[in-house]
Amino acid sequence: EVELQTDGNRSGHLQNGELGESFLHPVNEEVIRIIAAQLAEIGDQFDKEIKARVVNDLVQHFLNENLSGEEITRRMSEAVEGLARAIPSDMEREKAMLVLAMVLTKKIANTMPSLLQRVFRTTVNYISQQLHNYIVRMVSAVKQ
């Protein structure tokens, strides 16, 4: 498992005494930069369209310590899917959902910085569960 550090570097963890899968398949850093730039541009457009009410509702769910991680991920998924319905049909739905999840994460963390760790973990879980195959296809497409 590789984690992105605040300075943009990655740090690896050993899993069962072995290097994580990411180290077995090196990723071209330039590919990641290209994808990140594209997603950031889309995110800037979406940022203006996300209503404060959606963010505040999610903040309240994250503040509710009685909700399980699965329940919070489900609430995040519902918010992303609801926002994705309003996205123009010329954009890939998965790309829109990926960017919306990241923009929501940023907005929640900006609204309530103390939630950063919980919202980040939830977003990573959501992306891993819902969008993993899309990300693999997107990286493969840029490599070619």
Give the DSSP letter string of 2-29. Answer: EEE-TTS-EEE-EETTEE-HHHHS---H
The 10 Å Cβ neighbour count of residue 97 is 21
pTM for the whole structure:
0.74
In this predicted model, what pLDDT tens digit does every residue of 43-90 receive, in sequence order? 988 888 889 999 999 999 999 999 999 999 999 999 999 999 888 778
Would you state the pLDDT for residue 89? Answer: 76
pLDDT(20) > 90: no
Closest residue by Cα to residue 133 from 98, 85, 88, 109: 98
Superfamily of domain 27-140 in the CATH hierarchy: Blc2-like (1.10.437.10)
Six-digit token string for 111: 């609204």
Would you state the pLDDT for residue 112? Answer: 95
